[in-house]
Copies of this chain bind each other. A is one copy, B any other.
């Protein structure tokens, strides 16, 4: 949760006036999203989200993310749509930051997803992957195996101060993944961060996906593995196989998961767990104490990693073999 950049009145007024969206009636910082500054803007016509891009989002990546939203929306994926100003521009500058006005997406993110939400998510994720297949731009996943190695280099010395023994666990896991990671599975655009707070629902129906700022080109099954981690564990860290089954079955009904994707799932899930274990450890060690961000507990992802390490086959995720 964060508002990093405050926007001056006159700047804001001039900014809003450069769009054909009516006059400003409200402007409030939103306490969600840890990467960027988000304001909820009401005009007399509609609500919008104004995003100012902060650290971690590289400006050179913004055209990829913004074009992706337009691409997805054109293919029927419900997601925020960047609004063009009177000159047709999407990417602007405000308060010294890259800034984009996007459409407001109705829906509420689910704090405690249930089985029905996991099914909805699986279907939406598969549709997202299918819609991404013909997206013409490319962006590497800088938070895959080699990215984890550099993150580990950054946190290695202090890792055991975060969780005793963490350094050895991560070193061993990176060695394991180096021999097991298979980059040859079917790829598309992946969301790469599809946690519950990035998925909106109206009642029990999924109403849209948001926050594409980790999106990249990578294996679709890895995205599934991220979601298994993010959606299918209970607060007590136990794995909920029923939620996983709902997610995977709904995904598979929209986009068939090939046998080699299924076989790779346990390794992909270990990689996904390691990814969030490492970034959370990094954030904990590098958060300016003045930053208005609640750092997340890396231990949650160590427990998830240990679960996936114990998994013998994808059947542990609730699927029978074909």
Contacts and interface: CB of A to CB of B under 8 A. Distances in A.
Contacts of A40: 28, 30, 40
B31 A29 contact: yes
A112 B7 CA distance: 10
A106 B26 contact: yes
Interface in A1-57: 1-3, 6-10, 12, 23-32, 40, 42, 47
Contacts of A293: 292
Contacts of A10: 112
A58 interface: no
Interface residues of A, number: 36
Interface in A242-300: 289-290, 292-294
A9 B290 contact: no
Copies of this chain, how many?
2
Contact of A8 (B6, B112, B292): B112
Most chain B CB inside 10 Å of its own CB: which residue of A9, A42, A47: A9
B32 A28 contact: yes
B292 A289 contact: no
A2 B6 CA distance: 15
Contacts of A107: 25-26
A110 interface: yes
A29 B197 CA distance: 12
Interface string A179-207: 00000000000000000000000110000
A111 B26 contact: no
A83 B112 CA distance: 27
A241 interface: no
B108 A31 contact: no
Contact of A111 (B8, B108, B289, B290): B8
A25 B47 CA distance: 12
A34 to B, nearest CB: 11
A186 B289 CA distance: 45
A95 to B, nearest CB: 10
A46 B47 CA distance: 12
29 contacts: A1-B3, A1-B29, A1-B292, A2-B31, A8-B112, A9-B108, A9-B111, A10-B112, A12-B108, A23-B202, A23-B203, A24-B202, A25-B107, A25-B202, A26-B104, A26-B106, A27-B108, A28-B30, A28-B40, A29-B30, A29-B32, A30-B30, A30-B31, A31-B292, A40-B40, A42-B106, A289-B289, A292-B293, A292-B294
**Shortest beta-carbon contacts, A-B, top 5:** A29-B31, A31-B31, A3-B31, A25-B106, A27-B108
